[in-house]
Amino acid sequence: MNDLNNKDAGRTSSDWDKRETVIRLEHISKTYSIIDGAPTMAGQLSAFFSPQSRRKIQALKDINLEIKKGEFFGIIGHNGSGKSTLLRIMAGTYIPDKGGKVFRKGSFMRLALGIGFDPELTAHENIFLNASIIGLSMKKIRERHDDILKMAGLEAYLHTKVKFFSTGMVSRLKFAIAVNAEADIFFMDEFFGGVGDLQFKALSAEVFKESIVKGRTIIHVSHSLPTIKEHCQRVLLLHHGEMKALGPPEEVLPVYHQLMKQNP
């Protein structure tokens, strides 16, 4: 792995060492057991009692990593490199293989646009449903309800079912709700995709920085390299489940581009 992990957006190594660690991964591996050629129930039962018919796929291989408080940390790599698996292990959704340890300090949330969104409900109803899922109390939802509608530009569509909205309208509403989430650590998988027209994208970028990024730790999986370059202090490059490079975007992204040329 490229030894890039002591550099961080102008900070010295000693400054970096003094910052509090909020996520630490020790010897994280993840192996999946895949059953080939068993589409029927009988075939699956046969495979269950015949372990030799299963195929092992190692999605992650001995990942060791520390993420500091307030860091915006990116994870990149080609499809199937283990990015989402690693994010889910960090968030506690997946359990690593035996011997792997995950340390987290502070409240955390996996944040995605539109968790629990129901197209049969109105904008008003979806605000209460979606905001409650991301942890807001009823009191806070009532306090922020009008501001959410205003940010999304949907004041006139308060009681309109979301299924009648355009894609842009839905994206704006999802984003306007999501930026109200409250946690110390956010795990985000392709959070920035399809957030409306150019005017709203400019607004959402500013709101995102003030509402989500400020004072929080962000772990962001993305294929959007401009997003990674703009927001991240450090980036982890995964390749076939292994740590290929770790460091600031300006040093890791060229490694990624070279890797893609070698493995199109």
Is 11's pLDDT higher than 50?
no
Residue 254 in any domain: the answer is yes
Confidence band for 1, pLDDT divided at 50, 70 and 90:
low
Summarised one tens digit per residue, pLDDT across range 45-103 is 555 556 555 778 999 999 999 999 999 999 999 999 999 999 999 999 999 999 999 99
Q: CATH number, domain at 90?
A: 3.40.50.300
Radius of gyration of the chain (CA): 21
Contact indicator for 78, 84 with CB cutoff of 8 Å: no
Residue 133 in any domain: the answer is no
Residue with tokens 């607004």: 203
119 contacts: CB under 8 Å, gap ≥ 6: 161, 162, 163
Residue 163 in any domain: the answer is no
Q: How far apart, in whole angstroms, are the C-alpha atoms of residue 7 and residue 246?
A: 9
Q: What is the pLDDT of residue 212?
A: 78
Q: What is the pLDDT of residue 12?
A: 47
Residue 227 in any domain: the answer is yes
Q: What is the pLDDT of residue 205?
A: 74
Residue 139 in any domain: the answer is no
Summarised one tens digit per residue, pLDDT across range 146-171 is 999 999 999 999 999 999 999 888 88
Confidence band for 37, pLDDT divided at 50, 70 and 90:
low
Which domain range does residue 227 map to?
2-107+219-262
Q: What is the pLDDT of residue 235?
A: 97
Q: What is the pLDDT of residue 144?
A: 96
Confidence band for 190, pLDDT divided at 50, 70 and 90:
confident
Instruction: Output the six-digit token pair for 100.
Output: 């792997």
Across the beta sheet with 2-3, the strand order is: 2-3, 242-247, 234-239, 72-76, 217-221, 185-189, 108-111
Output the average pLDDT for the chain: 85
Residue 162 in any domain: the answer is no
pTM: 0.78
Residue 143 in any domain: the answer is no
Rounded to an integer, the average pLDDT of 119-126 is 96
Provide φ and ψ at 59, rounded to 5°: -80, -30
Total of domains in the chain: 1
Q: What is the pLDDT of residue 9?
A: 40
Residue 79 in any domain: the answer is yes
Task: For the chain, give the number of residues.
Answer: 264
Strands (E) located in the chain:
2-3, 21-35, 54-68, 72-76, 101-104, 108-111, 185-189, 217-221, 234-239, 242-247
Is 10's pLDDT higher than 50?
no
More confident residue, 249 or 178: 249
